[in-house]
Amino acid sequence: MREVAVIGAGMNRWGELWEKSHREIWTEAALEAIDDAGVDHVEAMYVGCMSGGLFMGQEHLGALLADQLGMGPIPGTRVESACASGGLAFRQAYLAVASGAHDIVLATGLEKMTDVDGGMATYALSTAADQEYECYQGITFPGLYAMMARAHMERYGTTRRQLAEVAVKNHLHGSMNALAQFPMKVTAEQVEGSVMVADPIRILDCSPITDGAAAAVLVPLETAKKMRVDPLIRVAASAHATDRIALHERDDLCWLASTAKAAESAYQQAGVGPTDLSFCEVHDCFTIAEVMVIEALGLVDRGRGGSAAEGGFTALDGRVPVNPSGGLKSKGHPVGATGLAQIREVVHQLRRSCGDRQVKDARLGLTQNMGGTGASTVVHVFERM
């Protein structure tokens, strides 16, 4: 297997992009990544998209978007793994380069979620849960994460204020991100006083419905060296794991087994541990998700995720900054694009070009992108060389 580098990344401003079609949104990010990479073509492309059919009435995205880019007949593949679709698209691109199948590959993520009403968006997202045993019984993702939050609170003493502090921290980071959907600061009191969605989850604990796209260009590390790319950003690890979809079938409501397994594999591949990381971009679709993810990644002990944001451990100037981009909570969550946006943030952090939200001396970054309530997780580790 060849070593792989990321030489370009792109992302458009996320939000409710009424005036743009899904192909326009995707092309903006794809062309920015290609331009950033300094290449004039790609040999293959992958598109992470959770549900183009339900959100946009459009499937067959691999062929459509390869043509939209003007690079057909290159192979174009659509990848789906619920909210982890973008991360998995990047992993497929990584494997294509590492295996020697292709030398220049474009990994992208896309979702246009606001062309349908709230009920339809809720239904589309619910297809990432177990339809027979969860959705048909009336549960939604806020309800599922509320059960996880309540279990975590009961077992470990996690507090309502600690959940709020996750949102406060991520909105503070997002306020410095010009591409974020909601780049405003919030207070813990505002979070705790916002509309209840599913006890204890309130509206400001939830990531938004978003339109957006992101992309990255991958090449063999040796090619990047010949191109005199500086700094080199090496993909040090790529790992993927799954778990049971339905919560009631899991051994522990307070533990993200797929994240723990993928992280274990990624750390082994990269030859590092959680204490070596400079920062992380993680899947904070709800505030409780970040709490549980950082435990599964080994950044803190089990049960200590709640106090991490409250105590400043995951702040921009903390021991391990988490979601310097603002995360899904502030930056937005166009589900198929989220994993690629995390990677775009890592690229810029390792280039040390993030301005006010720059992590000091960033050298090693990790991304964690998961689907549903953690039934699938993709973890990548990136190194500045």
- Token pair belonging to 338: 């989220």
Residue 11: in which H helix or E strand, if any? Answer: strand 4-11
Q: Is 83 considered catalytic here?
A: yes
- Token pair belonging to 302: 């089990």
Amino acid letter for position 272: V
3-state helix, strand, coil in the chain (%, to 5): 40, 20, 40
Residue from 293, 286, 295, 31 nearest 146 by CA: 286
Separation in Å, CA 81 to CA 144, 189, 217: 18, 35, 21
- CA gap 12, 32 in Å, rounded: 9
Residues 6 or more apart whose Cβ sits within 8 Å of residue 102? 43, 44, 96
Residue from 209, 210, 212, 170 nearest 188 by CA: 170
- Token pair belonging to 86: 């973008």
Query: Which spans in 200-311 are helix H?
Result: 221-226, 257-270, 287-296, 305-310
Active-site hit among 22, 333, 348, 380: 333
- CA gap 27, 305 in Å, rounded: 38
Task: HSE, CB side, 13 Å, CA atoms: give it for residue 274.
Answer: 20
Active-site hit among 83, 280, 285, 354: 83
Amino acid letter for position 251: D
Q: Is 333 considered catalytic here?
A: yes
DSSP state of 358: P
Residues acting as catalytic residues: 83, 333
